[in-house]
Structures are given as structure tokens and as C-alpha cells.
Homo-oligomer: A and B are copies of this chain.
Amino acid sequence: SRSINLAVVPGDGIGQEVVAQGLKVLAAVLPQDVKLETKEYDLGAQRWHRTGETLPDAELDSLKSHDAILLGAIGDPSVPSGVLERGLLLKLRFAFDHYVNLRPSKLFPNTATPLAGRPDIDFVVVREGTEGPYTGNGGSLRTGTPAEVATEVSLNTAYGVERVVRDAYERANSRPRKKLTLVHKNNVLVYAGHMWKNIFDRVGQEYPEVTTDYLHVDAATIFFVTQPERFDVIVTDNLFGDILTDLAAAVTGGIGLAASGNINPTGEFPSMFEPVHGSAPDIAGTGKADPTATVLSVALLLRHLGYESEAVRIEDTVAADLAERTPDTVRTTDEIGDALAVRVAS
């Protein structure tokens, strides 16, 4: 008999509330014969305030034993900026070698977009997750004085770039449009940029059916709002991917809908699924958070674990739910979760 041994990290703010809905829908969609075990990890701002810990080794070890991780949101204004991000969220992404940070962007029918003309948006960003300016490399000298110097070092390896680029080609190759766009800034960041571009071109020779394109990151933001339908799969570095996927979320109905997977494709470590949005402390506890991004992240989780038809059922359920929403629809986090759970089970 099959089983899923899931680690749950609700985290901060609305994290708790949206994760609860994600689990509700997960339980509702899973076939009877699949045994779902979950273990909750108390990590985030409260834990840090209580113990000063962000992610102790024992818990990192324990997390390793799960099939996958579902994460809500990390971060709170009461904690200095960077402490939880670096010490918990990014630590997980790096420790578990989540080199594919997968972020699909789709404008569902009937959802609001700030773009006039409702373009046809359906692309996926493959964001590198373990290198670039996110490595924590850098430092500050004479901190806080007028003579301070601070550096941030973007580290990029052929090893790291090739594997994520290859993953992106595979994804592009399996989609109907078979188009892959590399986004970087190789006219300024010439060292990393040329390495990315060279590897992108070289690996591309193995995928003759994939049409390729290159855009500087600044130009890419223009096309995100003027011509988003031109994109199919995008591959880009960690920081550019961070920026572009928030913008992508904004033009496809907001971060209330944007799902993501931090994937370790080799399966050596558990992959982690989380909504793109943050902990939104301003609306935490009010029931205003939309759990849809978390529910869609659960679909990515299921797909990753091989439950393709269940993943599709969640996605169809979300699409159907969105199609019925009107500007007057007001539902709590819990009510949306209930509605999705009922619909997905039927």
C-alpha cells in the first residue's frame, strides 16, 4: 500500500491558516489506499523568539526523512530582516539542494489581472534555487561607520547552471509550444551571464525541437506586462527568478494564487512546496487570506510524488472555483478550503 510521509512547516502569519486548507484538500483528493502521515514542525518567528533557534540540526535531520515538505510562510516584522529568511527558508532550500525552484504562472479565466486586454498567460519559471546572489556570500567592513563597505557575491557554477538549464529544456520539450527563454543580464554581469548563455546554447543542441530566446532581465519585465503570452518556459538565476515570479504572480491574479515547488530532482532530499506569498502579518488571523496558492502548491507536491491525476484534479478544482467567483464573493480562508475540499472529492 502507498503512503505519503509529509513534513508540515506552517511558519508565520497566515502560514498556519493556508497550510490547514492545503492539508484539507490533500486529504480529500488522495485515494483511500494512500496512507497520509503528517508531522508538524514548529519553526518560524515564535520559535525564534522563544529559543533563539531558526533551524536546529536535529530538525533538519528529521525533515530529511520525509517524502516532501509543505511550507506556509516564513517571516515576521518582529524578527530582524534576514534572520528567518537566511536561517530557515533559504537554509532548507540549500541544505536539500532545491536547485529547481518551479513557479507556474497561469491567468485563469475570470480572475482579475491588472493588465488591460486579459492576455493569454500560461508559462512556468524555472528559477535556480541554490546559487547566485542567494549564497550568503559577502560581508561588511567597518559596519555602521561612514567608511563601511558591503559586498554581496553572486556565485555561479557550471555544475549548478547546467543542471537547472537541462531541467528547463526537459520541461519545455514536454510542453506543446516547446519554447525556452533564458533571462539574465549578460551585457553587464558578463562573467556569470556569459557562462549562463554558453551553457544554455550548448545544452540546447541536445533539444533541437525547443525554440530558444534570450532576454535581459530588464527587457523581460517589459514583456511580462506588454506581451506575456510570448513566454512558455523561462529559466533564470535565483535573484532574477525571485523578482520575475512576483511580477508574474501580479499579472496573473495576484500572489494569492501563485504556487511554487522547491524541487530536488534527484530525489536525494525531500522537495518543498510553498505559496509564493509571504506571511502577510497584517491579515493574519482575520480569515482574509486566500489559501488557493497553497492548494495549488499541494498539486505541485502531488505531481512531484507521482500522483499526476490527483494534481490535475486539484488544478481543475481551483479553476472551477475561480470561474465561479464574482466581485461580490466574500469567503473566509476556511470557507475557500472547505469548498475546494468538497469539490475535489466529488
Contact = CB atoms under 8 A, between A and B. Distances in A.
Interface stretch (A19-27, A37-45, A60-68, A143-151): A143-151
Interface in A108-127: 113-117
B145 A151 contact: no
A13 to B, nearest CB: 14
Interface stretch (A219-227, A259-267, A321-329): A219-227
A256 to B, nearest CB: 11
B153 A157 contact: no
A152 B158 CA distance: 14
B144 A155 contact: no
A155 B226 CA distance: 33
Tier of interface size on chain A: 35 or more
A156 to B, nearest CB: 5
A195 B139 CA distance: 11
A218 B260 CA distance: 15
Interface in A154-213: 154-159, 162, 185-195, 197-198
A334 interface: no
A249 interface: yes
Contacts of A116: 113-117
A157 B136 CA distance: 18
Contacts of A218: 242-243, 245-247
Interface in A232-257: 239, 242-247, 249-251, 254-255
A159 B146 contact: yes
B153 A152 contact: yes
A287 interface: no
